[in-house]
Structures are given as C-alpha cells and as structure tokens.
Amino acid sequence: GLVAVMYGPSELTATVNGSSVKILQQTNYPLAEDINFNITLEHPSKFTLSFRKPQWSSKLLLEVNNATIEEDGNYYHVTKNWETNDQLTVTFVYEIEQLEASNGEFYFQRGPLVYAYSIPAKEKVIKTYPDTKFKDYYCFPEEKRYKDLFLTNASNFQFVSENENSASWYDHKTYLLGTMENENKQQPIKLVPMGETVLRKITFPKR
C-alpha cells in the first residue's frame, strides 16, 4: 500500500499491485482542516492507504465509501477495492492550545500553525536594484503596545476563518480573536499565522 506522511497540495504517481496509481491532494492545508484525495487507477485494485495522524490533531476523520478503516497508534489504515475517480477526505481535529515557551512565556498554536501578534511596521529603503523590483530595507515598529501585552484568565481566544472555500491560500484567512491586558485594561487582540507577519511578537507573559 501507500502511506500519506506529509500533507499539502501535491500529486503522487506510483505502482501498486501492478497497477499505475495517481493520487491528487487538493487542499488549503495548513490553513484548512480538510484534504481531498482523488484516486486515479489504471484498473481496479484492492490495497491499503495509510494516513499519519500528526501530534497536533486529536484524531482523524475519514470520509470514504465502502472501505475498512483501522486505527493503529498514529496511523489510520483504509483498505478497499479502489476504482478510478474514487475520493477520500481526511479532516484534522484542531484545538487552540496555549503552550509554554522556553522563556516562561506562552504562545498560541492551532494545528500546525503558530499564531503571532503582527506589529505594525514601516519600511526604510536603504538600497534599490536598477531594472528590478528588488530592494533592501529596514522594518521599524510603528507602535510600542506589543511590549506591554499580558495574558490573563480573561484572555479567551476564538478561531475565525474567512474565505475558506477559496482555491487560493492568499484569500483564505485564519486568525485568533481575544483579549490581552494592556495598560491595566483588557483590550481586543488579533493573532495571525506567524508566516503572515513581518515584525511579530509570539510569546506573552501571563498575569
């Protein structure tokens, strides 16, 4: 059989039981929780597709017709008589986790993504390159609020997803909304995936 260990938009071609097999992963992962697998075969064949359950997913939800599904530790095994154009959907189960960092502060993770406070920044260009769009620049924070953000028992963050049916990562937005203490007041805070930020604060002290 075949094993899905790494997830993301991709295409695999292999030979199983003497039959050519192509598996297409369609997904906005890691922003999305679900992955659609489209299977194309040279001729029908019975074999097992196995799926790794990552540490940050409490379980996998598998949607497939006429299959036997077995859970074995961190893997789910799906056995069936596969035919061309069969489809299978894997859905991860994410939870917002507040984890302690090595510096004693705390950060937020949901599934494979770590979320951060994006610090508003301004650019200072120090060098340009003729006939290109490339440039060298410094980034400077436009505010100092990030230096005085504290988590409290009232810091309850909720997950928000926008445009999740979009085919583009750039349109599919995810973020966490909650509050943190700043200047002795609870203030609304938005955390975004770390990879979307330029200047950022990831860990926060707790009061």
Q: What pLDDT score was predicted for residue 172?
A: 78
Q: What value does the mean pLDDT of the chain take? A: 93
Domain 2-92 part of CATH 2.60.420: yes
This prediction has a pTM of 0.85
Q: What pLDDT score was predicted for residue 15?
A: 94
Q: Grade residue 162 by pLDDT with cuts at 50, 70 and 90.
A: confident
Query: Buried (b) or exposed (e) across 13-40, using 16+ Cβ within 10 A?
Result: eeebeeeebebebbbbbbbbbebebebb
The tokens for 80 are: 């069936």
Tens of pLDDT, residue by residue over 45-80, are 999 999 999 999 989 999 999 999 999 999 999 999
User: Alpha-carbon distance 60 to 135, whole Å?
Assistant: 44
Structural contact between residues 83 and 66, judged by C-beta atoms closer than 8 angstroms: no
Other beta carbons within 10 angstroms of residue 82's beta carbon come to 27
Q: Where are the domains of the chain?
A: 2-92, 96-201
The tokens for 176 are: 């966490």
Please name the residues in contact with 137: beta carbons below 8 A apart, sequence gap of 6 or more.
123, 124, 125, 126
Q: Grade residue 155 by pLDDT with cuts at 50, 70 and 90.
A: confident
Tens of pLDDT, residue by residue over 82-96, are 999 999 999 999 999
In single-letter form, the type of residue at position 175 comes to Y
